[in-house]
């Protein structure tokens, strides 16, 4: 069948990941399908259930990411999250590509400036240096 003839157009896919600590079933760094997004909240699918989250707590993109997400928190070493199966692996150094032992696929690693760094209670606070009088 030629493009545009018969059949429904494919659904527009949007994906979301958690970027701040909130009490919810999402895992940091993992991407979840977005069912809908309003001005203040979005609805994402987590284990076949709809979960409503405030926009400030998530990042939404228009296509499913194909790079490992890097998650960093003050309380533990950084880890990478597979874009396909959401498996987590410890991060050592700054690799350009990682192999997932769960889904058996290789993906690039997102740039360091895209780190998912959720704000949590044990994260170091920014304190200005003491002034000399």
**Residue 13 burial by CB count (10 A; 0-12/13-18/19+): exposed, middle or buried?**
exposed
Percent of the chain scoring above 90 in pLDDT:
48
Are both 51 and 70 inside the same structural domain? no
Could you tell me if 60 and 93 lie in one domain?
no
Spatial contact of 47 and 25, defined as CB atoms under 8 Å apart = yes
Domain hosting 76: range is: 65-117
Query: Is 6 inside any structural domain?
Result: no
Please give the model's pTM, rounded to 2 decimal places. 0.68
Report d(CA 86, CA 31) in Å as an integer: 8
Rounded Cα distance, 81 and 104, in Å: 14
Span 36-91, pLDDT tens digits: 999 999 999 999 999 999 999 999 999 989 999 988 877 878 899 999 998 999 98
Domains in the chain: how many in total?
A: 2
């Amino acid at each position: 069948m030629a493009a545009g003839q018969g059949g429904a157009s494919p659904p527009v896919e949007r994906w979301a990941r958690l970027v701040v600590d909130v009490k919810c079933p999402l895992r940091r760094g993992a991407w979840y399908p977005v069912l809908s997004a309003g001005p203040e909240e979005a609805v994402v699918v987590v284990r076949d259930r709809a979960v409503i989250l405030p926009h400030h707590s998530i990042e939404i993109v228009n296509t499913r990411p194909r790079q490992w997400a890097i998650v960093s928190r003050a309380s533990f070493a950084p880890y990478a999250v597979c874009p396909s199966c959401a498996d987590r692996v410890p991060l050592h150094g700054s690799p350009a590509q990682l192999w997932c032992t769960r889904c058996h696929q290789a993906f690039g690693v997102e740039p360091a400036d895209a780190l998912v760094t959720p704000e949590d209670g044990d994260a170091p606070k920014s304190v200005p240096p003491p002034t000399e009088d």
